[in-house]
Amino acid sequence: RVEVAGRHVYDLYTAIPIYHYSTRLSIQYELKEQLAVFYDQCYFVNDVLEEDYKDATNV
């Protein structure tokens, strides 16, 4: 799922027809930042689920 989302963002910013190089770079940077936040959220949710699973199976 994460790979699909990453591919979607990648396709999105390479498909944007921007002729000013600095603007294109700033948009790429912004999207990469958003993707990094998304990855962090996925890892956080995964950690929480793992902890819940450990708590449930230890009982």
Sequential pLDDT tens for the chain (59 residues): 444 444 544 455 555 554 555 666 677 777 788 888 888 888 888 888 888 888 888 75
Q: What pTM, to 2 d.p., does this model score? A: 0.39
DSSP character for 16?
S
Place of tokens 């819940």: 52
Distance CA 33, CA 36 (A): 5
Give the model's pLDDT for residue 2.
Answer: 44
Q: What six digits make up the tokens of 42?
A: 């996925």
Distance CA 48, CA 43 (A): 9
| Closest CA relative to residue 6, chosen from 43, 41, 32, 40 | 32
Give the model's pLDDT for residue 46.
Answer: 82
